[in-house]
Amino acid sequence: MISMYTKQEIIIKSYREGQSQRSISRELHVSRKTVSKYIREYESHIRDNQSGTTVLSDYLSQPPVYRAQNRSKLKLTREVQAYIDKLLEENAEKKRQGLSKQLLKKCDIHEQLNGQGIDIGYTTVCNYIRSKSTKSQDKEAFIRQKYEPGETCEFDWGEIKLYIKDELVRFQLAVFTSAYSNYRFAAFYQCQDTLAFMESHVAFFDFTKCVYRQMVYDNMRVAVAKFVGRHEKEPTQALLQLRGHYQFSHRFCNAYRGNEKGHVERSVEYIRRKSFGVKCKFDSINEARQWLMFTINKLNATRQKLTGKTANELFAEEVKVLAAAPAKLACAEQVQLRVDKYSTITYRTNRYSVPDHLVGCFIDVKILSLQIQIYQHGALLASHERSYKKHQWIIAIEHYLDTFKQKPGALSGSVALASSDCLKQLYIEYFENEPRDFIDLLDYCHKNQVSDEKLQGAVSRLQKSGVRQITAEKTKVLLGNKQSESTHIPCDQIVQLAKTQLSEQAALIN
């Protein structure tokens, strides 16, 4: 579109200087059709008005108006709009399910389009999404800070919701971000408690092999024990223990001022979105943790727009001034519990089995974020995966073998047998009428450290061999057979001479 100055020049040169349209077009470097268009518009204004001077003044004071026509969109086709609408609908569905912090942003939708081979501009995508939204956001100004290498690292929590075996589970995401390099680390836990707080720090320092001079926190309950006055805060024993072991200083930001640790505030949202915005269904927690670490390594290897370097490259500069991390800090809660009549201990409404000869005894229990360890006189007796559900029975059937030998009839309806689908199926198919034999088989497997998978494999081999009846004795014999591996004897001069002598002796005998 031409400027107001060019429009004025066209009219003045045509009516005051008497130049032809062709010469005006050549002199002003505009199309002759454009020159003819504005001359016709001016003549139309003269015919509609009597005073030519007033028309000239009014017309030349108005900027040129571009008359937009309804054109077909070249990039934003109906198929592209439908795909964007689908992603927006998925965002809306996530919001209805309570996954509002794992929504795809405009840049993520643009990446998804490019990943599908759709060549479209980011601005076009933003304009289309904005046209479908009527919400306005308040704007706030912030002061950009400058940080030195190795000076500050920020920590924060975030919530994620994942589908583990089609079950929606809520986790707490612990995120660390370097203020200088944006080097990131994250791990998720079942709850936001002291053990998870300490273990996340131990995992971070083990991941970086270094310690930053200062750690920055908000007013989280696992870091702030209590407020002293209006601005002073007293750290928790967990934070003091971490400080003393890793020798870093700490700083608390003001209440409701997350921008004071803006790197990690954005990192929580960034890691959550990049890791679980696209994929949030996993077969196991370990698979989800592996996916998270894969995403973090990918983000740390991505080149940053402002610096032109990756977070790994900038972190390499920080390593030169960072202190080396000491040995890992042991993080565990120690309690003493009494074994009840069901040969279990109770911790936070959940029951964990122990060997049945300990009924009525007091035992030492070490609680980790992922595991429950049971000790007596310093010896490890049992270990269970920690459950964060309510009123669960976590049972190991080998803990009740002595009791089952005395009460074999209690085996079929026991929680211990029902807790293992593999053993329960094996019992129903082959040993339902012989509970004592099955108990002896379980005792043999426990003493010889035979896993459930290996036991099931032995039974399958017996089935394929054509055995009519599968018994405990046949299964134990098959489990006891060990395949011997032939050892390779190096072929040297002595071996060659021995082979020659044996061949000669064989020839004499024959």
Domain ranges in the chain are 4-61, 78-130, 152-324, 333-393, 400-479
CA distances from 414 to 395, 407, 417, 437 (A): 10, 11, 6, 17
pLDDT of the residue at 485 = 47
For residues 346 and 354, is the Cβ–Cβ distance under 8 A? Answer: no
**pLDDT tops 70 at residue 407:** yes
Say which residues have a Cβ less than 8 Å from residue 397's Cβ, sequence separation at least 6: 416, 417, 419, 420, 423, 442
Say what the pLDDT of residue 257 is: 60
The arithmetic mean of pLDDT across residues 281-295, rounded, is 95
Residue 155 three-state SS:
strand
pLDDT above 70: residue 71: no
Bridge-based pairing state of the strands 333-338 and 249-252: unpaired
Share of the chain above pLDDT 90, in %: 48
CA distance 281 to 164: 6
Q: Domain 152-324 maps to which CATH number in 1.10.3720.10, 3.10.20.600, 1.10.287.3510, 3.30.420.10?
A: 3.30.420.10
Tokens read off for 164: 């583990």
pLDDT at 68: 58
In this predicted model, what pLDDT tens digit does every residue of 358-394 receive, in sequence order?
Answer: 999 999 999 988 899 999 999 999 999 999 889 999 9
pLDDT at 487: 52
- Per the model's pLDDT, the better-predicted residue between 508 and 380 turns out to be 380
Tokens of 255: 């209440």
Q: Between residues 200 and 502, which one has the greater pLDDT? A: 200
Tell me how far CA of residue 204 lies from CA of 216, 246, 254, 307, in angstroms: 14, 12, 24, 24
Q: Is 35 exposed, middle or buried (0-12, 13-18, 19+ CB in 10 A)?
A: buried
pLDDT over 60 at 432, yes or no: yes
Q: Between helices 122-131 and 106-115, what is the axis angle to 10°?
A: 130
Q: How far apart are CA 478 and CA 454, in angstroms?
A: 11
Tell which wins on pLDDT, 491 or 109.
109
Question: Is the model more confident about 463 or about 104?
Answer: 104
- Please say whether the dihedral angle defined by the alpha carbons of residues 417, 422, 423 and 426, taken in this order, is positive or negative: positive
Tens digits of residue pLDDT in 470-507: 888 888 888 876 544 445 556 667 777 777 777 777 77
Supply the DSSP string of 373-411, one letter for each residue.
EEEETTEEEEEEE---SSS-EE--GGGGHHHHHH-GGGS
Q: Output the CA torsion sign for 224, 227, 232, 236.
A: negative
Weakest mean pLDDT among 42-56, 159-173, 293-307 = 42-56
Which residue would you say has higher pLDDT here, 245 or 13?
A: 245
Per-residue H/E/C for 80-128 = HHHHHHHHHHHHHHHHHCCCHHHCCCHHHHHHHHHHCCCCCCHHHHHHH
Band (pLDDT 50/70/90 cuts) for residue 466 is: confident
pLDDT in tens, 130-166: 888 755 455 667 777 788 999 999 999 999 999 999 9
pLDDT, position 99: 86
- pLDDT for 397 beyond 90: yes
